[in-house]
Structure 1
């Protein structure tokens, strides 16, 4: 995808002042590649933490 600066925050610390650098759309803001990867890793960590907190289930049929 395109290297965009349409969403603030993230590890790159994009601020509102940075938005004009590569802002391509005025609706439906997009994440850039680094922000997308950061979000994917954060989501994976949240899901893993949630799974780790679930009580262990006994194997079916035992």
Structure 2
């Protein structure tokens, strides 16, 4: 599994605990290439993958 991610508080991917939506993407969209998960979304994804592996 490969995800683009950053520790910065970007708004480049929708979803996650903050429930980012399409209208919020422009708030802090900084990438000029592939959209990245922000730190919060990255941790959430890691925990979800870990849970899937355990079950």
The TM-score normalised by the length of structure 1 is: 0.74
Q: Tell me, which stretches of 5 or more residues in structure 1 are unaligned?
A: 50-62
Q: Tell me, which stretches of 5 or more residues in structure 2 are unaligned?
A: 1-6
Runs of 4+ displaced beyond 6 Å:
none
- How many residue pairs match? The answer is 49
Give the root-mean-square deviation of aligned CA atoms. Answer: 0.9
**Rg: which structure is higher?**
1
The TM-score normalised by the length of structure 2 is: 0.82
Q: State the partner residue of 1:27.
A: 33
Residue number among 41, 46, 49 corresponding to 2:52 in the alignment: 46
